[in-house]
Amino acid sequence: MTSIYRVRLAEAGDLPAIYDLIDSAAAWLQEHKNTDQWARPWPDKPTRDARVEKGIADGLTWMVEDAKGSAAATVTCREHGNDMLWTPQEQDEPAAYVSRLIVSRQHAGLGLGAALIHWAALLAMNQWQAKWIRVDVWTTNLALHRYYERQGFNHLRTLKFENRWDYPSAALFQKSTADVDLEAAARFETP
């Protein structure tokens, strides 16, 4: 039987757990995946932390807990994408923009990240009739690009910035919410 996880809106008290998820993922990526993704907070730690805090304050960040109440994952899902990345025509289409989807190393390999994508798409379909689920992926992490392609996402484009660190997550992917796997999304219960 597949485990059911509890998903709830993140609160300010979840910040240490979210930072731990980010830091653990960054260390694991560098050690095992030979990527510079999250090797340093972008563009710096105070700005990164402010984005995480804003996601919580705006009610866009979710925490996933296992049966013991431990942080199993987090995801941020918003209705509008970054204007630097997505065209006005794309922004006019109802979509879910997913970011900071991070699964704890203790829950890695269980398909939790893939299921969370379906859950976020279903949430966005119900809340704002999203037709697409979109993600901007770390530009140089080609293994992550392949992961999203295996999840049914299509690569739209990779933007080029004068300095890669101006925006290091510029590989854009999307898939139709019509492809939502309801069984996968049902791995999460919302209080």
Whichever domain contains 111, its CATH number is 3.40.630.30
Tell me: the pLDDT tens digits for 8-17?
Answer: 999 999 999 9
27-57 pLDDT, tens digit each: 887 777 777 776 677 778 898 899 999 999 9
Distances (CA, A) of 48 to 22, 69, 166, 172: 11, 26, 13, 20
Whole-number Å distance between alpha carbons of 42 and 166: 9
Q: What is the average pLDDT value for the chain, to the nearest integer?
A: 91
* Residue numbers of the domain that contains 107: 5-189
pTM of model > 0.85: yes
Q: Is 5 helix (H, G, I), strand (E, B) or coil?
A: strand
Give the pLDDT score at 41.
72
Residue 1 has pLDDT above 80, yes or no: no
| Residue closest to 152 by CA, chosen among 183, 114, 124, 185 | 114
Domain count, the chain: 1
